[in-house]
Amino acid sequence: MKYKEYHAPASLSEAQNLLRCAGEAGIVIAGATSHPFLGGKDPRIAVDLHRAGLAGICPDQQAFVIGAMTTVAALETFRARGWVLDRVARRFVSQQIRNQSTLGGNLVRVFPWSDFPVALIALEASFVIAGESARSLNTDDYFATQPAKHFAIGDVLKCIHVPILREGQGFGYQKITRVQADFSQMTVAVRLTVAKHQVTDARVVVGAGLPMPTRLSHIEEAVIGKPATERQLRSAAENPLGEKRPRTVAGMSPEYVQQLARVAVGDALMEAAAEAQGAAS
Ligand SMILES: Cc1cc2nc3c(=O)[nH]c(=O)nc-3n(C[C@H](O)[C@H](O)[C@H](O)COP(=O)(O)OP(=O)(O)OC[C@H]3O[C@@H](n4cnc5c(N)ncnc54)[C@H](O)[C@@H]3O)c2cc1C
């Protein structure tokens, strides 16, 4: 991608004004790591958000409020009760890309290998977009389409609210790659709520093995109201993708993708159940 102009505004409102003036030629720059994957021959007017004050993690009563420009490296090193995104960040490609890539950049343009959309659907995050006025979208609406389609000219993803994991809840995250820095073949995130050894709520999400991150409602229904035992959880993961068409790349057959999903969903359910019942993750 080529730029014909570069701007580094010192505030969000200045960034939005620049983007409105630039029109279709404008492009937000966060970590710029997606640029090798994005097409387009026309030179763009780049609006870099690094000085716009959108980085940082603030816990409030119910959720962590994460600025869109927070890097994946910062998510990895942050620690607080009910915080689990360090576990997702640790599996994110390489230290160089964790240093550069931002949470917002990972969530505006979703690729099949994107990690955080899978995790944040499981965690029921919500998304604040600064436009003419600020608006908030819940997870299901935000990811109902390629999220970039929600953004009009001048809109900027401002922050993400990620609910704090409560007592009795556990998170599981599994990602299968051939080598650490490879693109994911299968990404799974699970949040389970368990009371008296019974699952009372479940969110099970698969990415990479399907074209876009997708909730597996048949697995959620199969575990809710049942004991959180290994036998029960693994049997719920027996036919993980159901009738959905697996994404087959790099010579993988549909059966192979199903088998990856069976293992990763089973392991993520087990990880979440153990944490929900008090075992250290
Ligand atoms: C070799 C390589 C391997 C990778 N592997 C993985 C992987 O395994 N898993 C994974 O999850 N990611 C991976 N990534 C990163 C991923 O593909 C994206 O490149 C990255 O998440 C984008 O983040 P960024 O901060 O660099 O955003 P940018 O590239 O700067 O922006 C991405 C898009 O979002 C828009 N945008 C960014 N921020 C905002 C905002 N606040 N408001 C409005 N629009 C915005 C930009 O205009 C652009 O269209 C990899 C990248 C590389 C280069």
| pLDDT for res 31 | 97
Mean pLDDT over residues 145-173, rounded?
Answer: 97
CA 110 to ligand 1 centroid distance, Å:
8
- Can you list the domains of the chain with their CATH numbers? 3-48 (no CATH), 57-163 (3.30.465.10), 169-276 (3.30.390.50)
Torsion of CA 258, 259, 264, 265, to 10 degrees: 50
CA 132 to ligand 1 centroid distance, Å:
24
| pLDDT for res 1 | 81
Is the pLDDT reported for residue 281 higher than 80? no
Report pLDDT digits (tens) over 52-111: 999 999 999 899 999 999 999 999 999 999 999 999 999 999 999 999 999 999 999 999
**Ligand 1, atom 38, residue with closest C-alpha:** 105
Quote the DSSP letter at residue 227. Answer: B
* E strand or H helix at 204: strand 198-207
CA 35 to ligand 1 centroid distance, Å:
8
- For the Cβ of 111 lying below 6 angstroms from any atom of ligand 1, the answer is yes
Report pLDDT digits (tens) over 186-227: 999 999 999 999 999 999 999 999 999 999 999 999 999 999
- 8 A C-beta contact, residue 254 and residue 241: no
| pLDDT for res 164 | 98
CA 114 to ligand 1 centroid distance, Å:
8
- For the Cβ of 21 lying below 6 angstroms from any atom of ligand 1, the answer is no
Is the pLDDT reported for residue 280 higher than 60? no
Mean pLDDT over residues 172-197, rounded?
Answer: 94
| Probe target for ligand 1 pocket from 108, 110, 159, 184, with the most ligand atoms within 8 Å of CB | 108
**Ligand 1, atom 49, residue with closest C-alpha:** 109
- For the Cβ of 115 lying below 6 angstroms from any atom of ligand 1, the answer is yes
pLDDT bin (cut points 50, 70, 90) of residue 258 is: very high
CA 109 to ligand 1 centroid distance, Å:
7
| pLDDT for res 133 | 85
Atom of ligand 1 at shortest range from CA of 30: 30
- For the CA atoms of the chain, what is the radius of gyration? 19
The pLDDT mean for the chain works out to: 95
- For the Cβ of 92 lying below 6 angstroms from any atom of ligand 1, the answer is yes
Is the pLDDT reported for residue 41 higher than 90? no
| pLDDT for res 169 | 98
- For the Cβ of 12 lying below 6 angstroms from any atom of ligand 1, the answer is no
CA 224 – CA 239 distance, rounded (Å): 17
**Ligand 1, atom 19, residue with closest C-alpha:** 34
